[in-house]
Structure formats: C-alpha cells, structure tokens
Chain A
Amino acid sequence: MPDTFLIHAALAGIGLMIAAGPLGAFVVWRRMAYMGDATAHAALLGVALALLSDLPVALGTALVALVMAALVTLLSSRDRSGDTILGVLAHSALAVGLVAVSFAPEVRSDLSSFLFGDILTVTVADLLWIWGGSAVVFALLVWRWNPLLTATVNEELAQAAGLDPRRERLVLTVALALVVAVAIKIVGALLISAMLIVPAAAARSFARTPEAMAAMAVLIGCVAVLAGLWGSLTFDTPAGPSIVVAAAAIFAASLGFRQRAR
C-alpha cells in the first residue's frame, strides 16, 4: 500500500486532468496557448494578493485568473493576430506576480512551490477543492460542448445557427480561470499550461473525433501524473516538473505513432 501523501498526490493529479483534458483540447484547437500562459502567470499575482489581504489563496487565485483571462479574451477577440500583446501580457503577469510576492513574506520563503507546484503536500481539504473545481469545469464543458465545438469550427456558422460565439468564449474563460486556480497547487504557475496543452497535443495522434481527443487527453494526463510521481520518487526529482516531463515523453512517442499510422 503506497503512502497517504502519494495517494493524495495521485488523486490530485487525476482530479485536475478531468478538467484539464477537455479544456486543453479547446486550448489546442483554438490556439489559446498564450492565453493559458497569461492566465496561469497571473495566478501568482493572485496568490500574493490573497496572502497580503488574508483571503483564501484559492479564491484570490481564481479571481485574479478570471480578470486576466477576461482581459486576454477581450484583446484576442478584437484582433485575432494579437500574438504580441498576448506575449506581453503573459510575461508581464509573471513579472508583476514575482514583484508582488516579494511583499508577502510567507510566499517569498516558499516561492518555488507556487512556481512549480507542491503536489506531495496535498491535503484532504486541497483534494476537495481540486475535485470540486474540476467537476464544475467538466460539467460546464459537457453542458456547452456542441455550441463550443461549433463556435470553434467556424464562428459564422455558429452565429447563423443562432449561437453567440462571445458567450462560448466566456465559458472557456471561466473554465480556464478555474482550472488555473485548481492546478497551481499541483504543477505551479509556470507549468499549468503544459498540463493543458501537452496531453491534448499527444491525444491528437490517437483520435478521429473531438470527443475521442478530449477523452484521450484525460487518459494521457492521468498516465503522466502517475508516471511523473513514480519518477519523482525513484529519481528524487521535483514532482510537478516530472509529471510534465512524462507528458512530454508521451507526446514525443505519439508523434511516432502518427507517422506510422499514415
């Protein structure tokens, strides 16, 4: 029987992937990678602000992530080629977060856990928050699945069918902010978008429909979590980055699969 901390860690990672798998698929399909970065980096600012104002960390993270995601959504929907401005935002958010953190001594002493996650110290309370947040995001995506997919395929097609692409963007914005708030404890602000993008990108090789790709992303993410934890214990490496390394390895292998499938 593995230790409790390990079981908690595995449950936390799997809980995250239930939301990050399908959301990550949309991030890949809609080319929102920078938006994921900007939102995740802003989460660090959220942590600092929450600690300075005695708010719960999860709440502060979620609020600041939501503001950032909304800002990025607004900018990117106005100008589809706003790649530069997104890059500016993503990196500025990180820098502002790091500066803000210097005013919060509690975070300062433990900065790396917010940058790279601290999955091995997940508590039962953390688990409840992670699974609760993930369940909300999962339910949101399932509920809006077909409208989201239609707006992703072609916004005019969606509008002609009476859908409002702005509303679907809002759904993704909220989902992204929630996932970031859930994931910061697990993989940290720097690697959250990796857990969105890498499993979904790996899943592409094995899928013929959007639903299959989302499901495969969840599965690949869970395998990466377990493999990463195992590697972390075996080689005494940091857990969060080890999980992302495992996911990246699966992605590399998936490319070989795609080559042969063709």
Chain B
Amino acid sequence: MPLIEAQGLSVRRGDNTILTGVNFTIAPGEIVTILGPNGSGKSTLIRALIGLERPSAGAVRHRAGLRIGYVPQRLHLDAALPMTVRRFLSLPHRVSDAAAAAVLARTGVADLGGRQVVALSGGQLQRVLLARALLAEPQVLILDEPTQGLDQPGEAAFYQLLEEVRAETGTAVIMVSHDLHVVMRASDRVVCLNGHVCCEGTPEIVSEAPEYRALFGLGTGGTLALYRHTHGPDHVHDGCAHDHDHAHAHAHGPEAADA
C-alpha cells in the first residue's frame, strides 16, 4: 500500500467546491510536487492529505502508523512569545540536546540553536522548520510552498538539501509549489492541480539549458518538466486549459529560464 492514498477526494468550504474527485498516491521514497496557480486548491489538498481537512466526498487513507513531518507554509510567532530555536525543536516532543544539534547540523543551521525564532531570516526559518519535522523521523515529509520568499540560489540550495535528506533517510516528500523551477529541479513526479488533477507525470530530462546550469550550478542537474497527460474519458476540463498553456509555454523552451 502507498504511504498516503486519496481516492475521489472532494473538499467543499461553504458553497465553494475547492477540490473535485482528486486521486493521489505517494510511494515510499518518492518526491512529488503539486503544482498549480493561486487558488487551485494546492494547500487544501495538502491539508486533506494530512487529515486537517474533512473530505466532502471520497477518502484519504494513511498506511498504519504513518509518521508525517509537516513544514507549514509560514510560521508567524507572536512577538510576545519568546522561543529559541533549540526550544522550538522540542515541540511537540522533547528531544535531546544531541539530537537537536545533529539535526540542525544536517539542515545547515548548526549555530542557530540559541537564536530567537522571530529573528531568523526566511531561509534560516525554513531550515529550522525542516529540522523540526525531521526529528519525528518521518516516512513522508509534507512541505507547503517551502521556498516562498527565498531567492533563487537559496531555493536551489533548499531543494538540494531535500534531495540529500531523501537519499539519506528514504523519506518520501510531497511539496506544493506555484513555481515551475521546482518542477524542473527536484521531483520524481508532478501533479498539476486546478481544483482537480489536470495532468500528472514524470519530469524527464529534455534539455540541458545553459540558463539553468548558470542559475543552479548543477551541471547535468538542470532538467525541464515534461508532463505526460493522463486525461481519462471522465475527466473534467473546465478551468484547466489556461493552466496547461501556461505550463507548456514555460516548460518547453529554454527561454523559460528567467520566467
């Protein structure tokens, strides 16, 4: 059985239908990116997969005893709440100093343990949030727009880190993005969402665009997305067309590099 499986998942909020008939699975060790424009239901899908959102139809199933490491989109601490990075790592379960130091070193923020969480930069905070999630030794890491607010080198470094963590621990990763760079870099599979699953598939290396290599400095790592369309006969098409064009326009040419 996959780690998480959603079948025919629909979510409504009031009169609004946010997700319709979404099928989704993730296997151990897989990195899947959920891609879509603003308001396409990406975060809602993530929340439903974790169990924070009640489906109006369909179901989400977790493998028994599944350990999820969750990295929220934002962490806004009230300034009235003093919190060092070290203390934050002990939420919700206390961890040893050795474990805290090891995980901070792993995520490249070894010297931040004594800092206040509110004083961290965006990139530092993302790494601290990732460190906290890793302490649960998750079988699947779930990240909601993890690189929002990072510059491109910072973004690239963060995805590099995610791939390393996956290689070391074997954790699966589900990420949300509205940014095509993510798709190009670090995913085994991409799910394109716009209220329903528009298309999904494996990104294949179609080109070694020099712009990407310059941007990310990864040699052969610069890959472009290629979607294998999986429209079935029962597929709902409304609202998808625009999104497809958008994705193709960016994904098929090296000129998309600076988009």
Interface size class of A (residues with CB under 8 A): 20 to 34
Chain A residues near B78 (CB, 8 Å)? 29-31
B52 in the interface, Cβ–Cβ < 8 Å? yes
Q: Which of B51, B77, B94 contacts A146 (CB 8 A)?
A: B94
Q: Is the CB of A157 within 8 A of B50?
A: no
Stretch at the interface among B21-29, B79-87, B102-110, B229-237: B79-87
8 Å CB contacts to B: which residues of A136-166? 146-147, 149-150, 152-154, 156-161, 163
Interface size class of B (residues with CB under 8 A): 20 to 34
Residue among A30, A158, A210 facing the most chain B CB atoms (10 A cut-off): A210
Residue ID in chain B nearest A204 by CB atoms: B80
Q: Which of B77, B82, B88 contacts A213 (CB 8 A)?
A: B82
Chain A residues near B82 (CB, 8 Å)? 204, 207-210, 212-213
B242 in the interface, Cβ–Cβ < 8 Å? no
User: Given that A29-B80, A204-B80, A210-B82 are known contacts, is A157 also in contact with B70, CB under 8 Å in the complex?
Assistant: yes
- Please, what's the 1-or-0 string for B85-98, where 1 marks a CB less than 8 Å from any CB in chain A? 00110111110000
Chain B residues near A30 (CB, 8 Å)? 78
B148 in the interface, Cβ–Cβ < 8 Å? no
Interface majority SS (helix, strand, loop, mixed), chain B? loop
Q: Is the CB of A149 within 8 A of B51?
A: no
8 Å CB contacts to A: which residues of B98-154? 116, 136, 142
B68 in the interface, Cβ–Cβ < 8 Å? yes
Distance (whole angstroms) from the CB of B30 to the closest CB of chain A: 19
Q: How far, in whole Å, are A66 and B72 apart by their CA atoms in the complex?
A: 33
Chain B residues near A156 (CB, 8 Å)? 47, 50, 52, 70, 72
Q: Is the CB of B72 within 8 A of A158?
A: no
Q: Is the CB of B92 within 8 A of A154?
A: no
Q: Is the CB of B72 within 8 A of A157?
A: yes
Q: How far, in whole Å, are A140 and B91 apart by their CA atoms in the complex?
A: 18
A6 in the interface, Cβ–Cβ < 8 Å? no
Chain A residues near B93 (CB, 8 Å)? 146, 161
Q: Is the CB of B81 within 8 A of A158?
A: no
Q: Is the CB of B52 within 8 A of A152?
A: no
Q: Is the CB of B68 within 8 A of A160?
A: yes
Q: Is the CB of A161 within 8 A of B80?
A: no
A201 in the interface, Cβ–Cβ < 8 Å? yes
Residue among B70, B75, B82, B83 facing the most chain A CB atoms (10 A cut-off): B82
Q: Is the CB of B80 within 8 A of A208?
A: no
- Please, what's the 1-or-0 string for B38-63, where 1 marks a CB less than 8 Å from any CB in chain A? 00000000010011100000000000
8 Å CB contacts to B: which residues of A27-69? 28-31
Distance (whole angstroms) from the CB of A183 to the closest CB of chain B: 21
Q: Is the CB of A157 within 8 A of B91?
A: yes
Q: Which of B68, B81, B142 contacts A153 (CB 8 A)?
A: B81
Q: Which of A29, A153, A161 contacts B88 (CB 8 A)?
A: A153
Distance (whole angstroms) from the CB of A240 to the closest CB of chain B: 25
Q: Is the CB of A210 within 8 A of B136?
A: no
Q: Is the CB of A146 within 8 A of B47?
A: no
Distance (whole angstroms) from the CB of A217 to the closest CB of chain B: 12
User: Given that A157-B72, A204-B80 are known contacts, is A163 also in contact with B87, CB under 8 Å in the complex?
Assistant: no
Q: How far, in whole Å, are A199 and B70 apart by their CA atoms in the complex?
A: 34
Residue ID in chain B nearest A200 by CB atoms: B80
Q: Is the CB of B84 within 8 A of A160?
A: no
8 Å CB contacts to B: which residues of A117-148? 146-147
Residue ID in chain A nearest B114 by CB atoms: A208
Residue ID in chain A nearest B43 by CB atoms: A156
Chain B residues near A150 (CB, 8 Å)? 91-92
Q: How far, in whole Å, are A180 and B58 apart by their CA atoms in the complex?
A: 46
Residue ID in chain B nearest A201 by CB atoms: B80
Chain A residues near B90 (CB, 8 Å)? 146
Chain B residues near A209 (CB, 8 Å)? 82-84, 87
Closest 8 CB pairs of A and B: A160-B70, A150-B92, A150-B91, A29-B81, A207-B82, A161-B92, A209-B87, A28-B80
21 A-B contact pairs sorted by A residue (CB < 8 Å): A147-B92, A149-B92, A150-B91, A152-B81, A153-B81, A153-B91, A156-B52, A156-B70, A157-B70, A157-B72, A157-B75, A158-B92, A159-B50, A159-B52, A160-B52, A160-B142, A161-B70, A201-B80, A208-B116, A210-B82, A210-B87
Q: Given A146-B90, A157-B75, A160-B50, 18 other A-B contacts at CB below 8 A?
A: A29-B80, A147-B92, A150-B92, A153-B75, A153-B81, A153-B83, A154-B75, A156-B52, A156-B70, A160-B52, A161-B93, A204-B82, A208-B84, A208-B116, A209-B84, A210-B81, A210-B82, A212-B82
B contact set with A: CB distance below 8 Å: 47, 50-52, 68, 70, 72, 75, 77-78, 80-84, 87-88, 90-94, 116, 136, 142
